[in-house]
Amino acid sequence: MKTSIIIAISLIFNFSSAQDYPPPTDLITIPTAGTLMRGSFSMDMRIQDEGGLILGLSTGITDRFQFGLSFGSPNLIGDEKLNWYPRPEAKLKYLIINEDLSLPGVALGLNTQGFGSYNDSLERYETKAFGLYLAGSKNWRSPLGNLGVHSGINYNFLENLDEDEDPNLFFGLDLELNPELSILLEYNSALNENEMTAKTMSINSGGYLNAAVRWSFVESLYLELDFNNLLFDDKQVDSFKREIKITYIEYF
């Protein structure tokens, strides 16, 4: 009986080398253990609600280490007075453990880019950045394509004037439906937005549940339709967020 179960699982998931199916460097918002290869770079543009826009650029310094910067505005598109975010934000990631057949990939990183509007008095984004994080990723080959499972823990040491300095947990998965199309799902538990002043600002109800469809319609170019904050607090906002992300990856 045990042998039959193992054979059945093997037919569903062909456990192949993680090098054949590397995880993405990010899902919708959460980081993964994936890093850019040496000599590659990615440019991404996130179009947020209310005309917000975040532009990011990252490059693979080595096969394990990537570095990036991002900058934007919560209302770049529109007719209101233009407000820029207070500073460019940093994205660093180092792959500690390579993924193999038995072990997940593990990466240590720093991401100071939050999302939405910026509160000057509390010096925090509407949705906090992940800050310092440790992320793990494991990938399998399914009948449809690559299946990736991701999780991690993070601590934001910059946005804590709202009196909530708790560590936070996040989880996610990506599933290839075919070589062009993928479905993404993630959950950010937002444990650092549920106490004191942070709770009064929070727009989620029990964490951020996000879903997306990612389409690679030409080589190296990805279009992503995001449906963020599906567990929204209807006392703070009227609906979940509908956003677009465009990513371009190329080699030097």
Judge whether 119 and 99 are in contact, CB under 8 Å.
no
- Alpha-helical runs (H) found in the chain: 2-12, 196-201
DSSP label at residue 3: H
pLDDT the model gives residue 220: 87
pLDDT the model gives residue 103: 92
Q: In degrees to the nearest 10, what's the CA dihedral of 226, 161, 56, 191?
A: -40
| Closest to 41 in 3D by CA, of 17, 13, 8, 69 | 69
The whole model's pTM is what? 0.88
Query: Rounded CA gap, 244 and 105, in Å?
Result: 28
Report pLDDT digits (tens) over 95-144.
999 999 889 999 999 999 999 999 999 999 999 999 999 999 999 988 88
Which domain does 83 fall in, by range?
A: 2-251
Number of domains in the chain: 1
Q: What is the mean pLDDT of residues 10-22?
A: 41
> At residue 67, does pLDDT exceed 80?
yes
Report pLDDT digits (tens) over 69-99.
999 999 998 888 899 999 999 999 999 999 9
Q: What is the mean pLDDT of residues 46-60?
A: 94
Q: What is the mean pLDDT of residues 35-51?
A: 93
> At residue 12, does pLDDT exceed 90?
no
pLDDT the model gives residue 19: 37
CATH code for the domain in which residue 22 is found: 2.40.160.40
pLDDT the model gives residue 49: 87
pLDDT the model gives residue 59: 96
Give the pLDDT band of residue 18 (cuts 50, 70, 90).
Answer: very low
What average pLDDT is seen over the chain? 89
Give the pLDDT band of residue 52 (cuts 50, 70, 90).
Answer: very high
pLDDT the model gives residue 143: 87
